[in-house]
Amino acid sequence: MDFELQTKIFNDQKLAEYLKNNSHWYKELNRSRESFKDFYNEYKKYKRDIGGKKITSVIDNLDTVNTIFKMIN
C-alpha cells in the first residue's frame, strides 16, 4: 500500500478501525490502488447498516418503555 493511500485511510479514525477489523482488505489494497473505491463503498455500506441497527434498537427500547408505562397504569 502506498504512502498516500495509507495517509488517506489512517487520517480517518473510523476508516482505520474498519480496516483493522476487516483485515482481508489489506491484501486487496496492497495489490491495487483502484481497490480503494471498493473498500470505501463497503465501508459506507457498513456504516449505513450500523446506523439502521441503532435506530431499530432505539425503537425497541422505546417500545419496551411504553409497555412498562402501560403496565403501571
Count of all residues that appear for the chain in the document: 73
**pLDDT (0 to 100) of residue 50:** 85
Q: What is the largest CA-CA distance in the chain?
A: 64
Q: Are 17 and 11 in contact (CB under 8 A)?
A: no
**pLDDT (0 to 100) of residue 36:** 94
Q: Are 29 and 5 in contact (CB under 8 A)?
A: yes
Range of the domain at 55: 3-72
pTM of the model: 0.69
**pLDDT (0 to 100) of residue 60:** 85
Cell numbers describing residue 24: 482481508
Number of domains in the chain: 1
pLDDT, tens only, 13-71:
999 999 999 999 999 999 998 999 999 999 999 998 887 777 888 888 888 888 888 88
